[in-house]
């Protein structure tokens, strides 16, 4: 019985945490130093989260998977609600931090509501840049890695140059690239592709080189040609390394994306953050940071879904 009550309480903790946040928001007025928002967006968000948490709590009685997940993560969500409330007290309620740099939740959420068309345009611009840069970076990095890993002659002649150029941060090339490419868009795609290329080619070549020679010898004995050895033996064996390179490359791509957009871009999340900072509108800066966090999470989660499908035998080795 005690375990059942304990499980029930753990599942109810998210709703209790949000209810506490609502109580603090209603009982304490915002400090007068904060600009008043047009609407109480934070209240709307809390009410939505409370309704959602109660709905999930109700569904947990009928679905075991939801019940187990909520029992495990309930305390974490409660702690997140407490952290949200603490930040609200420090910023909006008592203004213990400089108001211009630490706006209230209402002012940050107002950016998402009142500047939705501009934010969507910036997200689309960044997404297009990222997809093009990552595509070319993975493609060229994979091809380079296969040649380096499979051919000793290519490795002998090309690898020393890669060792020299590869470790240089992609963002260090921005001044040169901006003067070389005709448009900032093309320069940004190149910078992102360069950031992705090095880790992908490095891990691809390493994975192929570390593949057991026995596999290739067996393939040759059975009459396998070069194409078969590369794409049926070497590449499948190197897939874990390739995905690790892609993961590292995408993380580097986000850094390159944000930096490249701050130099000459017309739109994009990085451009938006830089613009809001120049205007001393830090509510927009925080909104941009939230967009980056959500953007990165969605992309990396999708990558791990693909990895899980292709490398089911490695389930649980790397988690996200």
pLDDT for 1 beyond 60: no
Claim to verify: residue 160 and residue 304 sit in the same structural domain: yes
Q: What is the DSSP string of 83-111?
A: HHHHHHIIIIIT--S-TTTS--HHHHHHH
Q: Choose one of 114, 129, 163: the last residue of a domain.
A: 114
Claim to verify: residue 227 and residue 285 sit in the same structural domain: yes
Provide the domain count of the chain: 2
Claim to verify: residue 154 and residue 87 sit in the same structural domain: no
pLDDT tens string 226-238: 777 777 777 888 8
pLDDT for 154 beyond 80: yes
pLDDT for res 3: 78
pLDDT for res 144: 93
- Measured between alpha carbons, how far is 260 from 257 in angstroms, rounded to an integer? 5
Q: Choose one of 56, 87, 114: the last residue of a domain.
A: 114
Claim to verify: residue 168 and residue 294 sit in the same structural domain: yes
CB atoms within 10 A of CB 84: 20
Claim to verify: residue 62 and residue 120 sit in the same structural domain: no
pLDDT for 219 beyond 80: no
Q: Which domain holds residue 276?
A: 116-314
pLDDT tens string 259-304: 888 776 778 888 898 889 888 889 999 999 998 888 888 888 888 8
Q: Choose one of 58, 85, 114: the last residue of a domain.
A: 114
Read off the pLDDT band of 24 (50, 70, 90): very high
CATH of the domain at 174: 1.10.3720.10
Claim to verify: residue 187 and residue 303 sit in the same structural domain: yes
pTM of the model: 0.81
pLDDT tens string 73-95: 999 999 999 999 999 999 999 98
Residue 163 lies in a domain: yes
Claim to verify: residue 120 and residue 259 sit in the same structural domain: yes
* pLDDT above 70: percentage of residues in the chain: 95
Claim to verify: residue 121 and residue 266 sit in the same structural domain: yes
pLDDT for 319 beyond 60: no
Claim to verify: residue 138 and residue 14 sit in the same structural domain: no
CA distances in angstroms from 108 to 38, 90, 273, 284, 285, listed in the order given: 12, 15, 13, 7, 9
pLDDT for res 309: 78
- What is the arithmetic mean of pLDDT over 61-68? 90
Claim to verify: residue 265 and residue 126 sit in the same structural domain: yes
Claim to verify: residue 185 and residue 278 sit in the same structural domain: yes
pLDDT for res 313: 56
pLDDT for res 274: 87
Residue 190 lies in a domain: yes
Residue 319 lies in a domain: no
Hey, which of 61-70, 78-87, 120-129, 242-251 has the most confident mean pLDDT? Answer: 78-87
pLDDT for res 118: 92
The crossing angle, in degrees rounded to 10, of helices 41-59 and 2-27 is 170
The crossing angle, in degrees rounded to 10, of helices 282-310 and 235-261 is 170
């Amino acid at each position: 019985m005690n375990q059942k009550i304990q499980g029930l309480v753990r599942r109810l903790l998210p709703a209790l945490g949000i209810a506490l946040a609502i109580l603090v928001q209603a009982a304490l007025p915002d400090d007068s130093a904060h600009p008043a928002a047009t609407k109480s967006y934070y209240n709307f968000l809390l009410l939505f989260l409370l309704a959602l948490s109660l709905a999930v709590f109700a569904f947990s009685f009928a679905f075991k998977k939801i019940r187990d997940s909520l029992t495990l993560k309930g305390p974490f969500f409660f702690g997140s609600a407490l952290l949200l409330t603490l930040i609200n007290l420090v910023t909006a309620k008592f203004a213990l931090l400089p108001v211009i740099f630490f706006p209230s939740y209402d002012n940050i959420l107002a950016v998402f509501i009142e500047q939705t068309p501009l934010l969507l345009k910036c997200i689309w611009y960044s997404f297009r840049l990222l997809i093009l840069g990552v595509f070319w970076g993975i493609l060229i990095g994979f091809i380079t890695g296969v040649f380096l890993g499979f051919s000793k002659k290519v490795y002998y002649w090309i690898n020393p140059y890669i060792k020299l150029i590869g470790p240089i941060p992609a963002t260090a090339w921005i001044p040169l690239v901006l003067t070389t490419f005709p448009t900032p868009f093309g320069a940004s795609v190149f910078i992102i592709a360069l950031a992705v290329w090095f880790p992908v080619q490095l891990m691809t070549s390493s994975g192929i080189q570390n593949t057991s020679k026995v596999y290739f010898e067996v393939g040759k004995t059975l009459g396998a040609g070069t194409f078969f050895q590369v794409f049926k033996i070497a590449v499948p064996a190197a897939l874990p390394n390739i995905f690790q390179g892609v993961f590292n490359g995408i993380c580097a791509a986000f850094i390159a994306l944000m930096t490249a957009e701050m130099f000459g871009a017309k739109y994009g999340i990085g451009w938006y953050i830089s613009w809001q900072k120049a205007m001393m509108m830090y509510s927009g800066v925080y909104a941009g940071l939230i967009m980056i966090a959500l953007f990165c999470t969605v992309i990396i989660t999708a990558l791990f879904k693909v990895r899980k499908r292709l490398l089911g035998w490695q389930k649980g080795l790397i988690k996200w």
